[in-house]
A and B are shown apart, each in its own frame.
Chain A
């Protein structure tokens, strides 16, 4: 496999760092070198979180630079547009359709961007845009915390590593009693 860059973005508290940890582990389990780098700044919630994962034969820097991201995985709708400069032409974008209203919108003078504007920003770079209402899927499965597993399932469909490898890494990280729910969440995401 060629060098592959992933960028996970969203809002603090959405499980982004766990998801990116899993993808880095999947890269290693697939026999590749892998590095990751996360920016979470303040540990309290509500700010932008970004986490980079790079796979390759030999990975140097842990950050994926502007214009080099192959897979952008956004856990929140507007955050996908914030990182459009990072995309390689024709990159895959997977975005959860959940909206988390920033304070600048709820108490400031700013508007949450219209769906069409977000879409247009992404389309300036790629047509491979996949939307998923991961929160609804997770809630249907009975636990909103399954959002990141649903999103990982959706991502896995586009990445040439066997689903069994993904599930093996996920099962090493979740408590046994949540294993079935996570497996279901992964499968639902993967087939969405």
Chain B
């Protein structure tokens, strides 16, 4: 049977068909759908772990116990998990351990464009790289077999364009797996990475890598496709298909197992072609290794280091280098207003950023989540944002640097559990006085509403123990804690002011469900044109439902507000900020106006 699967669905299907028993991860675009789809197979234990390092250790533990395990994360998640997979390369595994990294060339939803192929080389573990959904599924099997045969974790590197592209996949069955209790095979000399014993493991790792490089010359996913020998292209991942669009007749060396590099195979290919191109997205990972073999080739001298190498980019670069004829010109694009993502109608984050925008002197250390839209107009509130949990540490840095303006850290609930607790403890321990605003929308919203320790359910829908963030921050030693309803703007304002005035560490816990996990829409609101004075305050809420009316208020000649009834969900925030009381629920009398 054949089905159209995205790369992420195909990886999940691979986990099912190749007998994965334990799957863990932390959500992050473009990886999140892998674990969500694995969770649909009741045969596999699946969990959203609290962060990528915890997910990695849990998968390593499962592999030590002999289970086939898979752990998934986005590319920057690997930075969080790196401390753990480095040791697992030394200890080895027992059950197969597949680490899935979803990279983001083009930076569609990431803070950087790091090329995680370097982690394979850095940690000295083999890596497989699929070019479409069928290969994504197949390489889950290959990766797990390699992992068990060579006693090492294996990296599967996908990219956004594999993860979020769909292509047909041939479906197979899952072999029976034994889930009965299993005894851990104890082997401290191998599994305890104390320097005394780990020293003995390093030569094992180096020897393994060398033998794997020989094996990589024979494995079928590394294959030469001879065509016109005037041009040879070494490539891997989706670029293989892009290149075929531009050079359908060239010779190809397609690397499905690009690390460790199959050097003999590359030499054979290079010897068989007149000109050698290395086409790879982001860093010259293959190119530099190939050049180090003394083989002459071209790559980044002609093709960009940044972004995707889609056929259009290949054509442009190749034409500029004189490799192909220039394509016909395209019509000039029409200058159009941009359309950035925005806080949804009914978003609980709106009140906090509306207020932080008005508190002009307050410096905001932001964090990873939907709420980093607070950096964009009309809020323009956020001053820094770098990585998961960074807000609290950066704010503490502002504190000890003695910056002259008041400052806050702003962090979401899932991000707080992921990486916010340790820096909060650090503030308390070191006598810091930062104010930390925790936006608790009861979900991991940006990546598609996954559970976390503060939710009452876990992946798959089973009930979970809900951890209360206020309890956590108090246990960390913060005693000035302000718990407020996100939808009451005055209460949020008061809490922010009180917390900023407190001479010690403080937390403002702003609670309100993400619209998509909340109770659903209330009735729409409307603007009374007779009462609207076109002051523009409601526009500062940045609500997609509030647009400029075609009518102007005669006294100032400015456009009045209009609420799109299709988009409005009735959160009431605009009614709270409207000075003249011109905004009210549809079919209700205008407040303050006698009937």
Contact = CB atoms under 8 A, between A and B. Distances in A.
B473 to A, nearest CB: 26
A120 to B, nearest CB: 8
A107 B546 CA distance: 9
B337 A112 contact: yes
A124 B341 contact: no
Contacts of A111: 337
A35 B344 contact: no
Interface in B423-449: 445-448
Interface string B357-388: 00000000000001001001110000000000
B166 A110 contact: no
A34 B328 CA distance: 27
Given A41-B108, A85-B331, A62 B341 contact: no
A42 B341 contact: yes
A110 B328 contact: no
A187 interface: no
A12 B344 CA distance: 10
Contacts of B331: 84-85, 121, 124-125
Contact of A11 (B29, B164, B339, B373): B339
B544 A42 contact: no
Contacts of B4: 21, 24-25, 28, 34, 36
B548 A35 contact: no
B463 interface: no
A109 B377 CA distance: 11
A42 B166 contact: no
B405 to A, nearest CB: 25
Interface in B89-125: 108-109
B340 A63 contact: no
A103 B377 contact: yes
Interface bracket on A? 35 or more
A107 B337 contact: no
A106 B546 contact: yes
Given A44-B446, A125-B331, A62 B109 contact: no
B82 interface: no
A105 interface: yes
Interface string A1-21: 000000000011000000001
A162 interface: no
Given A39-B164, A108-B337, A62 B241 contact: yes
Nearest to B539: A107
Interface string A64-95: 01110000000000110110110000000000
A38 interface: yes
Given A40-B164, A44-B344, A103 B378 contact: yes
Interface string B1-31: 0101000000000000000000000000100
B327 interface: yes
Interface in A40-54: 40-48
Given A35-B132, A78-B336, A60 B245 contact: yes
B241 A61 contact: yes
A33 interface: yes
B166 A21 contact: yes
Contacts of B462: none
B401 interface: no
A191 interface: no
Contacts of A24: 4, 166
A108 B343 CA distance: 16
A46 B342 contact: yes
B242 interface: yes
B32 to A, nearest CB: 8
B168 A34 contact: yes
A58 to B, nearest CB: 10
B334 A121 contact: yes
A41 B547 contact: no
B344 A46 contact: yes
A18 to B, nearest CB: 12
A66 B334 contact: no
A144 B341 contact: no
Interface string B240-252: 0110110000000
Contact of B377 (A39, A100, A107, A144): A107
Contact of B334 (A34, A48, A84, A100): A84
B539 A61 contact: no
Contacts of A127: none
A144 B566 CA distance: 9
B420 interface: no
Contacts of A110: 337-338
Nearest to A81: B334
A168 interface: no
B370 A61 contact: no
Nearest to A35: B167
B584 interface: no
Contacts of B165: 35-38, 62-63
Contact of A45 (B160, B167, B341, B564): B341
Given A44-B370, A85-B333, A63 B338 contact: no
Contact of B167 (A44, A62, A144): A62
A78 B333 CA distance: 12
A39 B168 CA distance: 19
B339 A47 contact: yes
B482 interface: no
Interface string B518-547: 000000000000000000000110101011
Contact of A113 (B334, B340, B341): B334
B168 A47 contact: no
B452 interface: no
A113 B245 contact: no
Interface string B292-310: 0000000000000000001
A106 B548 contact: yes
A189 to B, nearest CB: 19
A67 to B, nearest CB: 6
A107 B168 contact: no
Enumerate the 5 nearest inter-chain pairs by beta-carbon distance, A residue then B residue, closest first.
A47-B341, A110-B337, A62-B165, A37-B165, A46-B342
21 contacts: A34-B4, A36-B4, A41-B341, A42-B370, A44-B373, A60-B241, A61-B242, A61-B310, A65-B311, A67-B327, A78-B336, A78-B337, A85-B330, A100-B544, A103-B544, A104-B338, A104-B377, A107-B377, A107-B540, A121-B334, A124-B331
